[in-house]
Amino acid sequence: MAFGLIGRVVGTKPSRLSTAARLIPARWTSKGSEAQSKASTGGGGASLKTFQIYRWNPDNPGKPELQDYKIDLKDCGPMVLDALIKIKNEMDPSLTFRRSCREGICGSCAMNIDGCNGLACLTKIESGSKETTITPLPHMFVIKDLVVDMTNFYNQYKSIEPWLKRKNPASVPGKEILQSKKDRAKLDGMYECILCACCSTSCPSYWWNPESYLGPAALLHANRWISDSRDEYTKERLEAIDDEFKLYRCHTILNCARACPKGLNPGKQITHIKQLQKSG
């Protein structure tokens, strides 16, 4: 019975493939219907969505502008990054943005979509005819279009010394430093950070003091190393950030927890550091 069905399927396939295989499939996909509707009026069957994207070119420097692009949502993937790639491929190759993994793990495509910071590869395009505004991460220096200068952010991360520091060598030399499951569980909610900068650039305190305040991302990582049971420099780490500006610019605004695309809560980790400072 099953063989008979397969036989029938195999029988029909070659005929489809043999006769101009490249022409026929176009009719069966939505692209065909979209091409027809585009030719007619452009509004017919296609659901067009306007994207307003921040543009600024350092080679022709003028005032930054919001440029409109219309995308047919039926012919585009569900995420904002798909729309950006489609615009770059088909409409405007000069649109510049960072992207890498397209799955929300690298943190390259962080940008401000409709007022909220997030990863373009994880933010769904809102259906409906409302315009979507895409701008670079707020209060960051712009290099070109949606690409921002992250050096200050990375330097702040470097300044908290995000590596294991020990005074005594490992108990079994040459082997791993052991850690119980409970101690490892203390790091949950901090190790997942991908340094996308969505949280830091959503913090108003970070906007007003970007050079002196470390920002939620760096402080989250500081807490990650402070809470690591294998690290022996806890006291020194706490003293290094026990600063009016580095730590205490945080006023628990908690925009960071709202913006984090991985669902982490940097504000909670900062509160943990503050508690340790008070008790230590």
Partner 1 sequence: MGASKLSGMQKQVLSLYRGFLRAARSRPTEDRKRIEMIVSTEFRHNSKEVDRKNFQYIEYLLRLGTKQLDQLKSPDIVSLSSIKVVTSKT
* 154 in contact with partner 1 (CB under 8 A): no
Taking CA atoms, 260 is separated from 136, 198, 219, 277, in Å, by: 16, 6, 14, 25
Task: Establish if 93 lies at the interface with partner 1 (CB under 8 A).
Answer: no
Tell how far CA 262 is from the center of its chain.
9
Q: Is 151 in the site for partner 1 (CB under 8 A)?
A: yes
Residue positions counted in the chain: 280
Closest distance to partner 1 from the beta carbon of 141 (Å): 6
- For partner 1, the closer CB: 70 or 144: 144
Identify residues 205-244 at the interface with partner 1 (CB under 8 A).
Answer: none
* Contact with partner 1 (CB under 8 A) among 7, 11, 58, 93: 58
Q: Residue 112: helix, strand or coil by DSSP?
A: strand
Choice from 68, 149, 236, 239 touching partner 1 (CB under 8 A): 149
Residue with smaller CB distance to partner 1, 123 or 156: 156
- Shortest distance in whole angstroms from residue 84 CB to partner 1: 22
Residue 56 binding partner 1, by CB under 8 A: yes
| Binding segment toward partner 1, per CB under 8 A, in 33-41, 76-84, 137-145, 246-254 | 137-145
Sign of CA dihedral 119, 125, 126, 131: positive
Q: Provide, rounded to whole angstroms, the least separation between the CB of residue 240 and partner 1.
A: 24
* Rounded Cα–Cα distance for residues 15 and 130 (Å): 45
| Least gap, CB of 53 to partner 1 (angstroms) | 18
Segment interacting with partner 1, rule: CB under 8 A, options 102-110, 136-144, 164-172, 205-213: 136-144
Out of 11, 22, 41, 59, the only residue in the binding site for partner 1 (CB under 8 A) is 59
- Strand segments, DSSP code E, in 32-135 are 48-55, 65-72, 110-113, 116-119, 132-135
Nearer to partner 1 among residue 210 and residue 261 (C-beta): 210
Closest separation in Å from C-beta 116 to partner 1: 24
Should residue 64 be labelled a site residue for partner 1 when binding is judged by CB under 8 A? yes
Nearest to 167 by CA among 175, 157, 159, 177: 177
Q: Coil, strand, or helix at residue 275? A: helix
List interacting residues with partner 1 (CB under 8 A): 56, 58-59, 61-64, 141-143, 149, 151
